[in-house]
Amino acid sequence: MEEQNNPWKVLDEHNIYDNPWIGLKEYTVINPSGGKGIYGKVFFKNGAIGIIPLDEACNTWLVGQYRFPINKYSWEIPEGGGELHVDPLSSARRELLEETGLKAERWDKILEMHLSNSVTDEKAIVYVARTLSQHAPQPEETEQLIIKKIPFAHAFEMVINGEITDAISVAAILKLNYLLDKKLI
pLDDT for 172? 98
Q: What are phi and psi of 120, to 5 degrees?
A: -145, 155
Please give the Cα distance from 123 to 157 (Å, whole number).
26
Residue 52 has pLDDT above 80, yes or no: yes
Strand 79-83 and strand 46-53: the pairing is antiparallel
Residue 142 has pLDDT above 90, yes or no: no
Per-residue pLDDT band at 103 (split at 50, 70, 90): very high
DSSP-derived secondary structure for 3-18:
------EEEEEEEEEE
| Percentage of residues in the chain having pLDDT higher than 70 | 99
pLDDT for 183? 94
CATH 1.10.630.10 fits 46-181, yes or no: no
Range 87-96 average pLDDT: 97
pLDDT for 140? 78
- The angle formed by the CA atoms of residues 138, 75 and 131, to the nearest 5 degrees, is 55
Per-residue pLDDT band at 104 (split at 50, 70, 90): very high
> 3-state class of 174 per DSSP?
helix
- The angle formed by the CA atoms of residues 116, 163 and 150, to the nearest 5 degrees, is 115
Residue 118 has pLDDT above 90, yes or no: yes
Residue 75 has pLDDT above 80, yes or no: yes
pLDDT for 4? 85
Which run of H or E residues covers position 181? helix 167-181
Range 42-55 average pLDDT: 97
Q: What are phi and psi of 100, to 5 degrees?
A: -120, -15
Range 15-43 average pLDDT: 96
pLDDT for 1? 64
| Percentage of residues in the chain having pLDDT higher than 90 | 93
Residues 160-171 have pLDDT tens digits of 999 999 999 999
Least confident window among 80-94, 101-115, 116-130, 136-150:
136-150
pLDDT for 143? 75
